[in-house]
Amino acid sequence: MTTPDVLVVGGGPGGAAAAHWLARDGADVLLVEKRRYPRSKTCGDGLTPRAVRQLLDMGFEFGDEVHRIVGLRAYAGDLVMELPWPRHTIYPDWGATLRRADLDEQVARLAVKQGARLVEGTEARAVVEDGRLVAVDLVADGATTRIEPRVVVVADGSLSRFGRSLGAHRRRDYPYGLAVRGYYRSPKSRDGFLESQLDIRDAQGRSMPGYGWVFPLGDGTLNVGVGVISTFRGWKDVNTSRVLDAYLEQLRDPWELDDEGPLEPPVGGKLPMALSVGPRAGANWVAVGDAAGAVNPFNGEGIDYAYETGRLAARYVLEELADPGGGHLRAYARALEDAYGDYHRVARAFVVAIGNPHVMRTLTRVGLRSRPLMEWVLKVMANLLEPEEVGMAERVYLAIERIVAAGPEPRVRR
Ligand SMILES: Cc1cc2nc3c(=O)[nH]c(=O)nc-3n(C[C@H](O)[C@H](O)[C@H](O)COP(=O)(O)OP(=O)(O)OC[C@H]3O[C@@H](n4cnc5c(N)ncnc54)[C@H](O)[C@@H]3O)c2cc1C
């Protein structure tokens, strides 16, 4: 195997997008994926209009197997509101759902179409000397090949072993998500809304910490999951599988779930948020997607941010190839801050605020009775503000703070 100029480690959304944009502009790119496609990935399989934009830009064809999504249905107990995606000058007004096994393979093949080489079933391991990445071992079927690419794009996901061996680590004071999902059969899988539940109750009617989702896949099945954020009180003690069971009871009638249970055992995963993982660049490497902690704390969306950061990284890696040692990789790390820093600051404050059950209750009770407020909330949470509306995220957050401050004090349970 000839050494490429750029090695991309990991064939998920972040790696495939980086490889796509690098190859499109003529770089010699090798994309290595540890597993073989089609490979599953623990995910909600939900694509917002931002993700659809990135996919369209990469030439992804939305065929009949892709289920179109017209908006979000938000529930808090019995309160419910259906919110269509907003009209936007850049992003389409539709989203989609598609199992990651299908999505990720198709996007990796689009990178190959641009000229990237793809090797599956191959694990990349960093060779580090004196804290510096000097080579990469590619391990497949017990055989190891050592290569010395000029630049490495680290796109190995939320566990990011490769990134950690380069010294990257997660900030513990930043929010972090844990979620579990399963697939269930339902005659209503052609529903056109992503559904979220902000008030999950157990069999005795007590509120459970965390939020739930139902993402219909249009093929007779639903992706159902629950998540919890590290800002929630006692989040470490939350048994997400138990919360999922309680949530499924709530869904049984409205979604006409049968008694079959999950089609395969539910699986859990981690969501590193708000660019919580760093450093995100070194002398000859950059990190993208979950390996950079790029998940949006407002809504747990990470596919789009993996595409976006992969694309952004490609631009700076190309500059580095043209002008070696010109500091372009560290400029990428600064560009990430410029692109997402302000938004994440508001998002971090928001998830700290909703970590208080009183705030969450007040917010959902007031919010779900006010369509204009919820339309703004959706725009902010899905990051669908117009360029001239930047700063609106902060204003919506301040409005939320005022609503909560005006709400009744929490009743103390003795
Ligand atoms: C339960 C759950 C639900 C979620 N729901 C949604 C959702 O509905 N919508 C959304 O937008 N986001 C969702 N997310 C987040 C989303 O899944 C991630 O943000 C996204 O997959 C990040 O893409 P990535 O390319 O950075 O990493 P990944 O998708 O994890 O891809 C990393 C790839 O690298 C490979 N790899 C790892 N190590 C190596 C190595 N050493 N060598 C070679 N290959 C390697 C892996 O096999 C994998 O294919 C969810 C996450 C969880 C846990």
Ligand 1 contact, 308 CB (< 6 A): no
Q: Which of 3.50.50.60, 3.30.565.10, 3.40.50.280, 1.10.3720.10 would CATH assign to domain 6-62+100-172+274-343?
A: 3.50.50.60
* Best of 271, 273, 286, 384 for a ligand 1 pocket test (most atoms within 8 Å of beta carbon): 271
Cα of 302 vs centre of ligand 1, distance in Å, is 8
165 lines ligand 1 (CB under 6 A): no
Cα 371-377-378 angle, rounded to 5 deg = 90
From the CB of 45, is ligand 1 less than 6 Å away?
A: yes
Is any atom of ligand 1 closer than 6 Å to the C-beta of 195?
no
Owner of token pair 């490889």:
19
Q: Which helix (H) or strand (E) segment is 399 a member of?
A: helix 392-406
Tell how far the Cα of 399 is from the centroid of ligand 1, in angstroms: 34
- Pocket mutation for ligand 1, best pick of 21, 158, 161, 299 (most atoms within 8 Å of C-beta): 158
Query: Which tens digits make up the pLDDT trace of 170-213?
Result: 999 999 999 999 999 999 999 999 999 988 887 777 777 789 99
Of all protein residues, whose CA lies closest to atom 5 belonging to ligand 1? 44
Query: What does each of the 414 residues of the chain score in pLDDT, given as a tens digit?
Result: 789 999 999 999 999 999 999 999 999 999 999 999 999 999 999 999 999 999 999 999 999 889 999 999 999 878 999 999 999 999 999 999 999 999 999 999 999 999 999 999 999 999 999 999 999 999 999 999 999 999 999 999 999 999 999 999 999 999 999 999 999 999 999 999 999 998 888 777 777 778 999 999 999 999 999 999 998 888 888 889 999 999 999 999 999 998 889 999 999 999 999 999 999 999 999 999 999 999 999 999 999 999 999 999 999 999 999 999 999 999 999 999 999 999 999 899 889 888 888 888 888 888 888 898 889 889 989 999 988 887 777 777 777 777 666 654 433 332
CATH class in words for 176-271: alpha beta
- Ligand 1 atom closest to the Cα of residue 32 is 43
Q: Which phi and psi (to 5°) does residue 183 adopt?
A: -110, 135
- E strand residue ranges, 346-391: none
What's the gap in Å between 155 CA and the centre of ligand 1?
Answer: 9
Q: What is the pLDDT of residue 357?
A: 80
pLDDT computed for residue 373 by the predictor: 85
Domains 6-62+100-172+274-343 and 176-271 share a fold: no
Check if the beta carbon of residue 230 is closer than 8 Å to that of residue 238: no
Q: What is the pTM of this model?
A: 0.96
DSSP string, 265-328: --EEEEEEBTT-EE--B-SSEEE-GGGGT-B-TTT---HHHHHHHHHHHHHHHHHHHHSTTSSH
156 and 285 Cβ atoms separated by less than 8 Å: no
Would you kindly state where each structural domain of the chain is located, as residue ranges? 6-62+100-172+274-343, 176-271, 345-406
